[in-house]
Amino acid sequence: MSTISPLLPGVQPDGRAATLGVLGGGQLGRMFVHAAQALGYDTVVLDPDPSSPAGRASHHFIQADYQDENALHQLAAQAHAVTTEFENVPAAALAALARTLAVSPVAEAVAIAQDRVREKAHFARCAARSGVAPAPYAVISSEADLAAVPVALLPGILKTARLGYDGKGQARVNNHAELAAAWQRMGRAACVLEQLLPLAAECSVIVARGRDGQVVSLPAQRNLHRSGILAVTEVYEQNLPSKQVHQAQEATINIANELDYVGVLCVEYFVLEGGTLVVNEMAPRPHNSGHYTVDACDQSQFDLQVRTLTGLPLVPPRQHSAAVMLNLLGDLWFDVEGAARTPPWADLLALPGAHLHLYGKAQARPGRKMGHLTFTGADAASVRAQALRAAEMLGMEAF
């Protein structure tokens, strides 16, 4: 049991209502705000977008750049604790806030997640204990590094060390000539080349770790990506072999412990054709693959984010329903000829077990995450059947 005094909702000794801040105003921030408000906390969001989904849902909104010193001072004056909703918030901003109030995750953990070179090195260190290693890789930051790339790493995937997400900043390369050309296209920036491996599946695990070191884990999520963006998440008994589920959960807990992490952490894995688990990348925040938890678990990933930030007790979350989640991208707001349309929400909501979540984004664009649709039910067969019906109605590819 933790001996750290939690930040409870209600009026604080300074006379202000307990207020939780979040850097980032997207859908993850919006869902964090909803979870915090359900527990009675006030919220404040800092984001440069005047129409940010989280900013419009929050008690207070500071429209400013993440490195604006005045804005950071204003956030520190309003909030009693601060978190982040995406990993590319400058780590320096988190470090500045941490001088005067509780911040989780800490700047150093976010900085590691922002840099694939440091992230891979951390995974490699953790593999000594967990047995789950990253794919064989090489760091390329100079002509000498490029020339020294082992032939065994090709074909491979070249990824920029920083600012790549949802398939951006990546290129598949089959030989050294293609590798050199791709590195040139990426501006000769620091990159990681990963060996291309025979994948059977992809999965992710979300854990929450408190300041006292207590860790709780959500189930392993089986994921399907299309064009580098998450399309479908399935979570139910035997979505993956139980040995892989346990191994992924233990590896994720080890990664969090080795970082002395505080907050919600998602780690993504590849499952190879022979059943071997390979760690891919981590996100120091709630994750798209965990959105099903809002409807299928007694605690969502955002509830856990609130608990870790405030020091409230961490109780192992329980999944009460089988779940399949469909990611709703902006492509669905256009027909095959590119004309704008409204997806058939009424028909979709007539399907048993449907839970629609739209993020309040004013403009749909191809590839933009506009919402998600989760189906829950008593068993995998029923939720898959309804999710497949919904995919057909939306014009999405079956899975």
* pLDDT tens per residue across span 353-370: 999 999 999 899 999 999
Of 103, 119, 146, the residue at which a domain comes to its end is 103
| 206 secondary structure, DSSP code | E
Q: How confident is the model at residue 43 (pLDDT cuts 50, 70, 90)?
A: very high
- CATH, residue 178: 3.30.1490.20
Q: What is the mean pLDDT of the chain?
A: 96
- CATH, residue 209: 3.30.470.20
Of 80, 103, 126, the residue at which a domain comes to its end is 103
Classify residue 31 as exposed, middle or buried by CB count within 10 Å of its CB (0-12, 13-18, 19+). Answer: buried
Among 55, 15, 59, smallest CA distance to 37 is for 59
Q: Kindly state whether residues 256 and 349 are assigned to the same domain.
A: yes
Q: Kindly state whether residues 256 and 321 are assigned to the same domain.
A: yes
Q: For residue 162, what are the domain limits?
A: 136-195
Of 49, 83, 103, the residue at which a domain comes to its end is 103
- pTM for this structure? 0.95
The percentage of residues in the chain with a pLDDT greater than 90, rounded to a whole number, is: 94
Q: Kindly state whether residues 161 and 83 are assigned to the same domain.
A: no
Whether residue 2 is contained in a domain is answered as no
Sign of the C-alpha dihedral computed for residues 136, 204, 119 and 114 taken in this order = positive
Q: Kindly state whether residues 224 and 150 are assigned to the same domain.
A: no
Whether residue 13 is contained in a domain is answered as no
Q: Kindly state whether residues 271 and 347 are assigned to the same domain.
A: yes
Q: Kindly state whether residues 362 and 298 are assigned to the same domain.
A: yes
Query: Taking 50 as the threshold, does the pLDDT of residue 1 lie above it?
Result: no
Contact present, 103 and 82 (Cβ < 8 Å)? yes
**Mean pLDDT confidence for 28-42:** 98
Classify residue 273 as exposed, middle or buried by CB count within 10 Å of its CB (0-12, 13-18, 19+). Answer: exposed
- CATH, residue 45: 3.40.50.20
Number of domain units in the chain: 3
Q: Kindly state whether residues 222 and 157 are assigned to the same domain.
A: no
Q: Kindly state whether residues 57 and 89 are assigned to the same domain.
A: yes
Whether residue 182 is contained in a domain is answered as yes
What pLDDT score does 164 carry? 65
Q: Kindly state whether residues 173 and 81 are assigned to the same domain.
A: no
**Mean pLDDT confidence for 325-350:** 96
What pLDDT score does 2 carry? 43
* pLDDT tens per residue across span 62-72: 999 999 999 99
Q: How confident is the model at residue 86 (pLDDT cuts 50, 70, 90)?
A: confident
What pLDDT score does 285 carry? 97
Q: Kindly state whether residues 165 and 79 are assigned to the same domain.
A: no
Q: Kindly state whether residues 272 and 355 are assigned to the same domain.
A: yes
**Mean pLDDT confidence for 221-249:** 96
